[in-house]
Amino acid sequence: MSGDGRSLPSMTRFVDEDMEGVEFRECNLNSTRLIGVIMQDSVIDGLVSNLVVNGVEVMEYVEAERDRRHPVRRLIRSDDLADLRRGWQQLRTDWAATVARMRESPGIEHESVNDEWSAVQTLRHLAFVYDSWFRRCCLGSTDLFTPMGLGIESVLSREEQGLDPSADPTLDEVLAIRDEQAAELERWLDAVTSEQLQEPAPIPDNDMWPPYARGRSVRQCLGTVLGEEFEHHQFCVRDLDLVEASTT
């Protein structure tokens, strides 16, 4: 029973456990409570909201600091088309700088750390995000996905959707696809209206990914694309830093 008389849901309890160095990956930690814990030098990376630390809800501070460090976040959250266009161009500029960094260390694009995707795999995933969340959800395309695209583990029937599990493209091959996709998105952003952004997403009636997008607006689906571009760029830069640090 909680302090206000409400019944708390049943939960797994860890009491007096030494969990130093434990990794939780792709776990549902909703409503988790950490009571009387020691937590130093820890990392939390994920979709976090309503996080209370020692009685203080901290996510407002975290999100404000992320916006300060990365002003593009404000642009890609905006409903103003001029902001969205500027935001997309900034994302492309940031990725171009990171690709240039990779080219200075040939082979680094295939390195991975901590069981994360390599840079090439990250770019392949974004090609898949584009096909699924933009071409399918914003344009209503029924085409199969780009074979070299890389879906997450929960994407079922990958080959039936056009993905090739054996694909092993080079950086230049992935970038060629990415450039084609970027050009298409830029043309669309130049032509779309604010009213069209708020319309229901024209998602085809089939079983292709993503299965949970129905009922969303075009703007919401576009937001997923832009958000994935930003977040995965951050992941990629983080891991390139780690790879380079391990070789010095």
**pLDDT of 112 higher than 70:** yes
Rounded to whole angstroms, how far apart are CA atoms 98 and 236?
8
User: Predicted confidence band at 2 (pLDDT cuts at 50, 70, 90)?
Assistant: very low
Instruction: Decide: helix, strand or coil at residue 95.
Output: helix
Domains of the chain (ranges; CATH) run: 77-246 (1.20.120.450)
Out of 4-18, 37-51, 130-144, 182-196, pick the least confident: 4-18
Instruction: Decide: helix, strand or coil at residue 160.
Output: helix
Q: What is the mean pLDDT of the chain?
A: 92
Average pLDDT (161-169) is 96
Per the structure block, which two tokens stand in for 198?
Answer: 């708020």
User: Predicted confidence band at 23 (pLDDT cuts at 50, 70, 90)?
Assistant: confident
Kindly report the pTM of this predicted structure: 0.87
* Nearest CA among 4, 8, 15 for reference residue 30: 8
Per the structure block, which two tokens stand in for 82?
Answer: 């001029």
The whole-number pLDDT of residue 210 equals: 95
pLDDT digits (tens, 9 = 90+) for 54-64: 999 999 999 99
Helices (H), the chain: 59-69, 72-77, 81-103, 119-129, 171-191, 194-197, 218-246
**pLDDT of 6 higher than 60:** no
Compute the Cα dihedral for 167, 172, 177, 181 and give only its sign.
Answer: positive
The whole-number pLDDT of residue 4 equals: 46
Average pLDDT (221-246) is 97
Give the number of other CB atoms < 10 A from CB of residue 188.
15
